[in-house]
Amino acid sequence: MATIPGEGQQPAPGTPEFLHAVRRAAGWRVSPREIEPVVEALRRTRAPVTPERVAEVVSALRGDRSARQRRHPELWRLLGAYLALQGKPAHPEAQRAFIGRCRRLLGDQVSDVVLLRVATEVGATGKPLEARLVARATRWLLEQGVAGVEAERLEELLPQAIEFASRALAPARRPPPARQRGDRLSSRRPRPPGQGPTPPRRRRW
């Protein structure tokens, strides 16, 4: 049996033993295609890949998939896995709702697959999966002329798009408050001990 180095007798992902272990933990017949995106999401976020964790995330993705989600199903499942890892609803309806929020911020000028690619890359970076972040990164890509499934160019520009969107949405830092008069007075250097106040000068007549 293939095992994960440093993990004792835990079966390695992709082996029949791992599949059986996931099914035992989940309590239902999980398919390999349901496991693969979850394992990918765990690995890309540097999370432990255990049968129990995979079973937990796979179970969070269960639900009825629409005809729309039967196109590029691996990307929809990967999106669901990242949503689940961030503690958000991850079932198919929640996946559609998330992409729908992204689309409302952008309009109908972009396809599902581009939004899914951007969203799953955001999830892989560990940044919060928020519709406005995905929409801002996608808008930046559109401004660069990436409007379709241009795999090579999209992969090349995605890190830049996400970094740009993160900076654009980061709250502006407020300048430190101006020092009050009392602060200025209290910050004056104290007199050495033993020296009292300067005596007033004697008036000459």
The helix/strand/coil state of 3 is strand
* Residue-wise pLDDT tens digits, 122-165: 999 999 999 999 999 999 998 888 765 556 778 889 999 999 99
Going by pLDDT thresholds of 50, 70 and 90, the confidence category of residue 185 is: very low
pLDDT(1) > 80: no
Measuring CA to CA, which residue among 85, 91, 156 is closest to residue 117?
A: 156
Across 103-124, average pLDDT: 91
pLDDT(198) > 60: no
**pLDDT attached to residue 63:** 94
Predicted TM-score of the model (pTM): 0.78
**pLDDT attached to residue 188:** 55
Over pLDDT 90: what percentage of the chain? 64
- The answer for 170, left when phi > 0, alpha when psi is -120 to 50, beta otherwise, is beta
Question: Among 55-64, 145-154, 163-172, which stretch is predicted with the lowest mean pLDDT?
Answer: 145-154
Across 40-60, average pLDDT: 97
Spatial separation of the C-alpha atoms in residues 111 and 50, rounded to whole Å:
34
**pLDDT attached to residue 9:** 75
Across 57-86, average pLDDT: 95
Spatial separation of the C-alpha atoms in residues 134 and 117, rounded to whole Å:
10
Over pLDDT 70: what percentage of the chain? 77
